[in-house]
Structure 1
């Protein structure tokens, strides 16, 4: 019979074993390392059915638990399946579920779960297996006298982790970076794709071919790669028709929801129907968004990237205009307000 594990998307702690048909209560405490007072010590009740490959989730706490952005509701019960994401409380502290045949130890189960969840971090000297080459296809409108970056690209060997499960939601970038329809540039080190759900008029992601699961996996040896990613992102801005008219920022989410390091290149108009909620807004306009230059400087200074405690709380801050800092009550009102800056 498979064994079930609840896996922290933030890598805050080891996976939690959920025995078959055993009721387990989780919330704020040492097991999850959640210190948020809005999360009850008895926030959720979990019951795994290892034969069916699912978990029953019952919300016990007052503040909302959600599965794939759908609030469970106090006293209500929903089903969590592989590929779905559980937020413990207030759209924070994300978890996924993994079923594994390996019952030898929590450590081996964690590694097994990561084969479905995200690429395993490799040793310093170990190389990854080369995967198929991908074709280049550019779908951006460019000025006639400015040759597309894609035309300058060299054939690239996409060195990607072969063990991930393409169907898992947080592995979406691994799939998208291989899609010629999304690619706008590539070279031997990186590929640039359009964000599928852009939060502004212009929103690209710069991804390395090297498999790097998160900011936490970055080391001093990656500085040159990150500088190259920043250079490519800057080139995207320079070749953008609105590059002189709009302001852009290049940076990383402190705690990204998607596996595989990716640099956001995003215009600051935030004029997009895909920008729908406070979490979207605050992830790009607060310190949750770390400038590319700051990440590189941190790596050069400390040899690693550190994310401050409580960073996830930034997603709950009030909606404030990033230009004049006036607070807005709702996303629609915020968007109306932003138009005054675009026309001024």
Structure 2
């Protein structure tokens, strides 16, 4: 296999909730016990990188392994899994499929076809390799965020239908398992909190993004616009403003109390030994997406019960700078032309996981 060959999941591979759910001391603690003793549910919706082999025929030939992995938050998988191994206060669920199957951090459409057709139409109207706005139609994107081809344009309606059916069938083997598992765990944590298992329950959607995008030769070194840049470590988002306060948008309140979000930011500065305060920012450049808005809706629907029980719910998105997660050596490789990806330093992954644990321990101590 060449370094640029796509990494595939073998045909017919079906994941189970047990495959994708992670917690500490699995040999001696059941999932039920882990949930009862945890106060944080971590989800990694974009962590999967290997593509179901059933979909390979529909992908653009120029979609190399580097583009494949760059289109994911692949660096988050190892960090989240390791964090779950060392921290008994969290339970984690990791999507085994890449976001190209369908993005679980977007609202799930009842039928993927209308939005996918519109996405193809917008890409065609923009022209090859040109910037295109796919807002509202991007659960499945025909192009990457650097606007390189990802999915081949179907030759006709019959091929489009065959492709859509294949994407739906593939999703049932992994992506839908992730979504059902994530949502089921969220409900179990909420119900347990209302029974008195914890006073504050938080769900965290864990992501990463690079401050550079990709050139046609594979070099991931095109600087983003200043307004789109992430801070040096992480941006924490609750759908609020730069202080975490309500932006005043009807129907879109903060998903975590602003005071708590600011405490969480300070805890991350401590846990990650931030070199300066602005290495951790709030709601910049992202406000947070579907996973936290969906959780926020659930929490608001249970607000009266929570008030009676003296319980608080919170949802937050963490968008880490991918360069920070990868480290300088791996980042330098990706800044150069190529078709392959990088390997990970296990000691660096452990350091990051320990820093995540320290950050949330500091947060708990502060509140």
Computing the radius of gyration from Cα coordinates, the structure with the larger value is 1
More helix by share: 2
TM-based fold match above 0.5:
no
TM-score for both structures, normalised by structure 1 = 0.28
More strand by share: 1
TM-score for both structures, normalised by structure 2 = 0.27
